[in-house]
Amino acid sequence: MTRHAAPSHPTKPNPLNLLGAETSPYLLQHKDNPVNWRGWNDAALKEAREQDKPILLSVGYAACHWCHVMAHESFEDDEIAALMNARFVNIKIDREERPDLDQIYQQALALLGQQGGWPLTMFLTPDGAPYWGGTYFPKEPRYGRPGFGQVLTALSDAYHNDKSKVAQNVAGLAEAMQRLSTPQSGGIVTRDVIDRIAERLLQEVDLVRGGIGGAPKFPQAPVMNLLWRAYLRTGDGRYREAVLLSVTRMIQGGIYDHLGGGLARYATDADWLVPHFEKMLYDNAELLSLLSELWIATGEPLFEQRAGEIVEWLQREMLAEADSTGMRAFAASLDADSEGVEGKFYVWDEAEIDDVLGADAPFFKHVYGVTHDGNWEDVNILNRGDQMGLLAPADERRLAAARAKLLARRADRIRPGWDDKVLVDWNGLMIAALAKASLVFARPDWQQLAADAFAFIDRNMRDGTGRLKHAWRAGKLAHPATLDDHANFALAALALHQASGDASYLDVARGTVADLNAHYWDKGGDGYFFSADDTADIIIRTKSANDNATPAGNGTMLEVLERLHHLTGEADYEQRADLLSSAFAGEVQRNFFPLATYLNGLDFRMAATDVIIIGARDAADTAALLGALLTQPQGHIVLQIVADMSGLAADHPAAGKTAVGGKATAYICRNRTCSAPVTDPADLSATLVRS
């Protein structure tokens, strides 16, 4: 990707642009455009119907570089704006605020045979039905794309002068979208099937540079998780090496911010050197969870260091506005651009590093690949891409001191834009990852960070009936919650319950799933719709188990339901998980590539292992057993630490078991069969290995 400076044009207030009343940072970026923008609402749709104008729908997000480019080239241009205003009702959507709408129109674009992404530019009839679309359009024809003015004229003319063809497009797209929202059900997906899929996915791994395929390269955390689970399930070292190589290359490459911590959304090259510099909360949540598992298996100091750096980044840069009690959740993202230039905040020239580091500069430059000519567009992206681990401790201490100096210098630069809205689904992923990592790395402060964010959402992000909403910013709660909000928030509650033993988290998880079952379950075909049954402003309720930028909620719910069944003994959770499993089983035969989270959920169900530790949570012998447990993979563990067995479900396989000899005692249960009591930590580790 060429480093692209988005041109800047002076703007003046436009009284017909209504985005100034919005809270989304992305929408507010466009409030002074000469385009007569509206938000997605009943008034805007009514305006389109009354004027019989097609809708130009523009979807993006605050951290999106090419969204900024299109905005500066076209939406700040008076000539283009005049054309848009004369011919269309122009609506802006923040895809992070309305993922339900974004999902619908991305699906429509795919059905038109085009690659999806952002900015998304869709042309709709006045009732919101898509008839054509694309992504980024330059103002003038280039990159093999028509100029935006040409597109506007052609699509407006088509709507008014060729209504039969538009109607044909609308009908065809509607039929195809309905078909895609009716997934293929099937029977049981067996372990052998999952093993064959893992073998096939392994063939897609770049065994030299790591990651899936070539440029651009995304972290693909669900796929990495699937391959890691295949290693744990089969013992095949090829999977282990593929994941360790991939993750190490990511966190040593330029896609990782070596000064401030955190992973960028993707690399534009195959070597993980050149990031698309935006940082998203969800990518770093998934990486933190994966690093926890890899560290358990390897003890690799690099994984522990990167996990700590991600949490430091969260605390330093990603805590959103506090509520009245001081609780703070996590912001959504950091922009790719600063001063209108992609990556400017993050890159370095050699002279500035020499100036900051002095005598330590040669050593630092050698380790981080800094040269006079630069490694990307005459500047340097800091990276350690050719190093598969850390250096000697003394060298790493020297590098840490140098990084601190450079981070302090970088703090004086103009920062990238910060999207500080709080999203339930992305926060759920991070809270669950923090809760898990707090146990693995023995960091109770991380658990507190997760608990605070959870409390913020639980207190501030519900409507008057107690149901979740999707987004919060500047004291305003907005937008319908989605399947992913409920799935990830329930997962977060269960992770905090496992980390803390606090029964209130289990209660929240159960209530969250109850709301989901009431309003999202497909009563005619099983599985969960992405949108609630009372979300009024969508043209279709989509239903899928495909991962997108984030894990699919239907896949996540397989684990959530199975955990709840193990923790409560209630058969409904297991029965619903069975129905959910079969609802998408036929999709595995069509295209398993986007189904990693669903397949991981199936794997969890097959291998879920209850570990019950009877003992005082703060007692030394309980801590010793917990420490032994944490030396083993955690992906299948359902942990309960109890004072006695009275709190277990009556039909739990460990019900009625007791502690032995007044010592903390563990029972390991799989397939409703429990081990003999274990009081020695070494025996617990050995029993887990055999189970």
CATH number at residue 629: 3.40.30
Is 691 or 245 the better-scoring residue by pLDDT? Answer: 245
Q: Specify the pLDDT at position 388.
A: 95
- 370 and 293 share a domain? no
pLDDT at 10 over 50: no
Residues 447 and 507 in one domain: yes
Do 581 and 616 fall within a single domain? no
Domain assignment present for residue 3? The answer is no
CA distances from 561 to 19, 471, 526, 612, 614 (A): 40, 25, 14, 19, 24
Residue pLDDT, tens place only, 190-205: 999 999 999 999 999 9
Choose among 249, 281, 276, 252: nearest CA to 265: 276
491 and 640 in a common domain = no
By the 8 A CB rule, do 606 and 581 touch? no
Does a structural domain hold residue 501?
Answer: yes
Query: Is 14 a member of any domain?
Result: no
Q: How far apart, in whole angstroms, are the C-alpha atoms of residue 384 and residue 566?
A: 43
User: 298 and 207, same structural domain?
Assistant: yes
CATH of the domain at 108: 3.40.30.10
Same domain, 509 and 642: no
The pLDDT value recorded for residue 180 is 85
Domain termination site, one of 410, 428, 447: 410
pLDDT at 389 over 80: yes
Cα–Cα dist 552/482, whole Å: 11
| 323 and 330 Cβ atoms separated by less than 8 Å | no
The answer to whether position 9 is within a domain reads no
Res. 4 pLDDT band, cuts 50 70 90? very low
CA separation for the pair 109, 130 (Å, rounded):
9
Residues 476, 554 within the same domain: yes
Q: Is 479 helix (H, G, I), strand (E, B) or coil?
A: strand
pLDDT above 80 (res 250):
yes
pTM over 0.85: yes
Q: Look at residue 691 in the predicted model and tell me its pLDDT.
A: 64
Q: pLDDT for 270-289, tens place per residue? A: 999 999 999 999 999 999 99
Specify the CATH number for the domain of residue 462.
Answer: 1.50.10.10
509 domain-assigned = yes
- pLDDT computed for residue 644 by the predictor: 87
Question: Taking 90 as the threshold, does the pLDDT of residue 537 lie above it?
Answer: yes
Last-in-domain residue among 562, 578, 607: 607
Cβ pair 44, 27 in contact under 8 A = no
Contact 210, 272 (CB under 8 A): yes
Distance CA 439, CA 685 (A): 16
* The two three-digit tokens of residue 147, written as one number: 């100029």
Tell me whether residue 435 is in a domain: yes
Query: Which residues lie below 8 Å from residue 43, measured CB to CB, with a gap of 6+?
Result: none
Q: What percent of the chain has pLDDT over 70?
A: 98
Strands 264-267 and 130-134: unpaired
Least confident of 335-339, 354-358, 479-483, 584-588: 335-339
Q: Among all chains, which residue has been given the structure tokens 């669950």? A: 432
If pLDDT is split at 50, 70 and 90, which confidence band does 335 have? very high
Rounded CA gap, 602 and 340, in Å? 45
* Pairing label, strands 637-642, 609-614: parallel
pLDDT confidence of residue 424: 98
Average pLDDT over residues 194-220: 96
Q: Domain total for the chain?
A: 4
E strand map for 398-557 = 418-419, 422-423, 469-473, 476-480
Write down how long the chain is.
691
Q: Residue 9: is its pLDDT beyond 60?
A: no
Range of 618's domain? 609-690
pLDDT at 650: 83
Among residues of the chain, what percentage have pLDDT more than 90?
90
* CA distances, 102 to each of 55, 375, 686 (Å): 15, 36, 48
Split at pLDDT 50, 70, 90, the class of 690 is low
pLDDT at 579 over 90: yes
- Considering the domain architecture, whether residues 489 and 378 belong to the same structural domain is answered as no
Partners of 427 in the β-ladder: none
**Residue 581 sits in the same domain as residue 464:** yes
- Which candidate, 517, 460, 484, places its Cα nearest to that of 100? 484
- Pair 444, 583 in one domain: yes
Residue 13 lies in a domain: no
**Mean pLDDT over the full length of the chain:** 94
- Are 470 and 428 a contacting pair, CB within 8 Å? no
Evaluate if residue 143 carries a pLDDT over 90: no
Q: Which of 122, 150, 180 is the last residue before a domain boundary?
A: 180
Residues 328 and 467 reside in one and the same domain: yes
Neighbouring residues of 465: CB distance < 8 A, sequence distance ≥ 6? none
**Residue 131 phi, psi dihedral angles, 5° rounding:** -130, -15
| Mean pLDDT score, 640-666 | 90
Question: Is residue 119 reached through a cis peptide bond, with omega within 30 degrees of 0 on the bond before it?
Answer: yes
Q: Which of 585, 581, 576, 599 is nearest to 521 (CA)?
A: 576
Q: 31: how many CB neighbours lie within 10 A of its CB? A: 17
**pLDDT single digits (tens) 43-92:** 999 999 999 999 999 999 999 989 999 999 999 999 999 999 999 999 99
pLDDT at res. 476: 94
Give the pairing of strands 609-614 and 665-670. Answer: antiparallel
CA distance 254 to 274: 6
Per residue in 367-387, pLDDT tens? 999 999 999 999 999 999 999
Q: 98 falls in which pLDDT band (50, 70, 90)?
A: very high
Backbone angles phi, psi at 480, to 5 degrees: -65, 140
For position 645, what pLDDT does the model report? 85
Residues 625 and 589 occupy one common structural domain = no
- Sheet containing 264-267: give its strands across: 264-267, 275-280, 333-334, 418-419
What is the largest distance, in Å, between two alpha-carbon atoms of the chain?
Answer: 86
Q: Judge whether 646 lies within some domain.
A: yes
For residues 106 and 59, give the distance between their C-alpha atoms in angstroms, rounded to a whole number: 10
Confidence label for 103 from pLDDT (cuts 50, 70 and 90): very high
- Predicted confidence (pLDDT) at residue 553 exceeds the cutoff of 90: yes
